[in-house]
Amino acid sequence: MTTDILTATDLKKYFVIGHTGWPKREPITVKAVDGISFTMHEGETLGLVGESGSGKSTVAYITIGMYRPTSGSLKFRGQELFQADGKRPLHLRKEIQIVFQDPGSSLNPRRNIKELLDLPLRIHQPGKHRLEQIIRLLEIVDMPPEYMYKYPHMLSGGEKQIVAVARALATNPSLIILDEPTSALDVSVQAKTINLLLRLQKEFNLSYLFITHDLSLMRNVASRVAIMYLGKICEVAETAEFFQNPLHPYTQMLLSSIPVVSEAEEELKPKKVVSTGEIPSPVNIPTGCSFNTRCPFVMDVCYKVDPVMVEAGNGHTVRCHLFTQPASAGG
């Protein structure tokens, strides 16, 4: 029986970026995350995929506690991650860690590796033999112990990211958020980092929320895949089902644009779906379905009614009027 580790229900995060002119002075709002719901299972990798500006990193920053949600619920093993005063319960802070996209900017250049790894240990495990733990952390990520005396500028990009992974492991977390952890690395280094993450997941029974725009990577890493577009999730499925039977027109568009090197791979891709128009501004999202300005299958109802998530079988859910009953879709 699977155990849920992270559950989001109607989660929203809005940012006020300015105000309209006099005399109304109404706020100008970006709906970065606009009412998403999803569930992560213990020990799985959930891939959260979308274009830049889709809101996937905002989901990560809410989960780690950098942002407080505007509304909605986010629970870790059944307990709310945010109290009424907006603070996170102390005992949950060490359970969720993050590895950022750019290791160069996420590591303090004035601290050596020993100091970087010592800080979370000092906060969450005071009084213990921290030097031994630092050596063990470096050994876990296949890094020589003598590296503890080096500074970030002395390391390669891949080594910096491995240090970031070691730092995330320092609190013995259950859930690690991986925010584009390989996008700034060379291809060969990407493979080494991914293999390390997969080994650590098995060794420590970790759950990963893997945020990326790379669908090819998700095919080999994720247990399930969720697609985001303009602050909303439009499709969720197990990885094999997702690649074999993409349902949402936006998902089909993304998959059909993946570059391939052989005719066999080309045959596995969905029929080419061509989108028209530009991605709408997140400040002025279209009424109805937010994808209606680019969808080749757009209908009248798509301009009037925002579709809801429906079950398509085999744990596959999709938010599109093509899969809703005519009565519920408004005709």
Q: Taking the domains of the chain in order of start, what are their residue ranges? A: 4-95+171-323
- Beta-carbon contacts of residue 111 (< 8 Å; ≥ 6 apart): 119, 151
Q: Is the pLDDT of residue 263 over 90?
A: no
Rg of the Cα atoms in the chain: 21
Indicate whether 267 pLDDT > 70.
no
Instruction: In whole angstroms, give the CA distance from residue 59 to residue 73.
Output: 12
Task: For residue 46, list its beta bridge partners.
Answer: 209, 224
Confidence of residue 207 (pLDDT cuts 50, 70, 90): very high
What digits encode the pLDDT tens for the residues 222-239?
A: 999 999 999 999 999 999
Pairing of strands 45-49, 224-229: parallel
Q: What's the longest Cα–Cα distance across the chain? A: 68
* For residue 134, pLDDT beyond 90: yes
pLDDT band at 318 (very low <50, low <70, confident <90, very high): very high
Higher pLDDT, 310 or 129: 310
CB burial of residue 330 (10 Å; 0-12, 13-18, 19+): middle
- The pLDDT of residue 184 is above 80: no
Per 3-state DSSP, the chain is made up of helix, strand and coil in percentages (nearest 5) of 35, 25, 45
Mean pLDDT over the full length of the chain = 89
Span 4-95+171-323 CATH architecture: 3-Layer(aba) Sandwich (3.40)
What angle is formed at CA 286 by the lines to CA 57 and CA 269, rounded to 5 degrees?
A: 60
Residue 237, pLDDT score: 96
Q: Say whether the peptide bond before residue 282 is cis (omega within 30 degrees of 0).
A: no
The per-residue pLDDT for 265 is 56
Q: Is the pLDDT of residue 115 over 80?
A: yes
- Asked whether the predicted pLDDT for residue 255 surpasses 90, the reply is no
Give the whole-angstrom CA distance, residue 107 versus residue 60.
18
Q: What is the pLDDT of residues 11-61, one digit of tens each?
A: 999 999 888 877 778 888 999 999 999 999 999 999 999 888 899 999 999
CA gap 227, 48 in Å, rounded: 6
**pLDDT above 60 (res 130):** yes
pLDDT at 193 over 60: yes
